[in-house]
Copies of this chain bind each other. A is one copy, B any other.
Amino acid sequence: MRLFAERGFDTTTVADVAAAAEVSSMTVFRYFPTKEDLVLADDHDPIIVDHIRAQPTDQPMIQRIGTALLESTSAQSPDERAMLLARLRIGLSVPALRSRMWDGQYQTQRYIAEALADEGIDEFELWVAAGACISAATAAIVRWAERGGTEDLAELMAVALRIVIHSSDRSPS
């Protein structure tokens, strides 16, 4: 991350990273399947799923997902926030990384839909609701990163989720 931030992602080779880590290039590829994974490796999905499962089941589906996303973001430590910002700073400016980030959110969407399956909700409706919430959360995160992390991420995300969810008065299940 230090090398990428200093010299740029595209202009830093895997060999450079390997040398800085005092290992061979092969060793890097053994732990990170691609160069992109050096930046994108994170384990936030299980945390989100935990928060999803902890939501009261008497709420509308879209509300449960949105609240879970908001909670799992609010629970981040300052260190995690700093790491997230560093990742986004590099990731949003490099096309290859940006694409991979969106795909990471697609994976998150799949995890969420999987965690909430078997509740009798229509599969497609669940998928759409998860997509809408993730889209809103992403909008907040991107905006936050573009402003250099100076704004309140949790508040931004709450605003974004409110736009998508607004006064949903539909019943659960």
Q: Using a CB-CB cutoff of 8 Å, which residues 94-133 of chain A contact chain B?
A: 95, 98-100, 102-103, 105-106, 124-125, 127-129, 131-132
Question: Which of B134, B143, B156, B164 is in CB contact (< 8 Å) with A164?
Answer: B164
Q: Are A125 and B163 in contact (CB under 8 A)?
A: yes
In the bound assembly, the distance between CA atoms of A168 and B132 in angstroms comes to 15
Q: With A131-B139, A132-B136, A134-B135 given, is the CB distance from A160 to B99 under 8 Å?
A: no
Alpha-carbon distance between A128 and B99 when the two chains are bound, in angstroms: 19
Instruction: List 27 A-B pairs, Cβ < 8 Å.
Output: A62-B163, A95-B103, A98-B103, A99-B100, A102-B103, A124-B143, A124-B156, A124-B159, A127-B139, A127-B143, A128-B135, A128-B136, A128-B139, A128-B163, A128-B164, A129-B163, A131-B135, A131-B136, A132-B132, A132-B135, A132-B163, A132-B164, A134-B135, A135-B135, A164-B164, A166-B168, A166-B170
Interface of A is mostly: helix
A138 within 8 A of partner (CB): yes
Interface size class of A (residues with CB under 8 A): 20 to 34
- Chain B residue nearest to A131 in the complex (CB): B135
Whole-angstrom CA separation of A53 from B143 in the bound complex: 25
Residues on A lying within 8 angstroms of B by beta carbon are 62, 95, 98-100, 102-103, 105-106, 124-125, 127-129, 131-132, 134-136, 138-139, 143, 156, 159-160, 163-164, 166, 168, 170
